[in-house]
Structure 1
Amino acid sequence: MAREPRIMKIKFESPTSEFYAQVREKSSVRELMKIIKKVWGDEYMRLYHKSKEMKSDQFLSVYNIKDGSIVKVQVLAEPPDHHHHQPLNDVCTNNFKFMENNKKLNRFSILGLIHSVS
């Protein structure tokens, strides 16, 4: 008889907010990103567990995620690789336009901006 997939409760934290979600034990990091997008509406992000960046094509078991684990969320103003192809001044201007247009000028968007230009 096949074992039912275990459900885990995970805490998601950004610098300004947090929430809990229940996920299947065999979920992928990509599935976590979909949950975060539904809750916070943010398109671009990086996830970390115990200071290790999580890759979207991996399963939670790779990062030893268990019931009660905390996943840190870094929200980015642009796709992570997009800023490598632009001069620094253009990146700053585009990030501020993006945040103003989406009315997301808050602390974790600013942190995403700082990270993307450093």
Structure 2
Amino acid sequence: MTTENKIASDIKLDFSKLNGLVPAVLQHAETKEVLMVGFMDEEAWEQTVETGLVTLFRRTLGRVQVKGEEDGKFVNVRRIVVDCDVDTVLLEVVPESPVCHYGYQSCFIKEILPKK
């Protein structure tokens, strides 16, 4: 299986399915660990592509925010991959510090085992 290489201007994300938002999965570029899931609106998408810094739409704040804008510890984008339906973004990133606001490397910290 191969992937298609495109430039950002060739990609038109589908923001219609989640009221103007698309999920953005942040994965560590080196370890491949999933760090967090956030959301992007068109402004956050364009800003992320333009600056190379993860920018998300913060639903709790009702606005776009650069990840790290409050503490100066930014999350740098190394690679962007868009899914086949163009409604989800995978950001391979190198964070300057833990991305979880509780101080963990990843927001995925609570393991639940399935019932057998």
User: When the two structures are superposed, what TM-score results if normalisation uses the length of structure 1?
Assistant: 0.35
The structure that is strand-richer by fraction is 2
Which has the larger Rg? 1
The structure that is helix-richer by fraction is 1
User: When the two structures are superposed, what TM-score results if normalisation uses the length of structure 2?
Assistant: 0.35
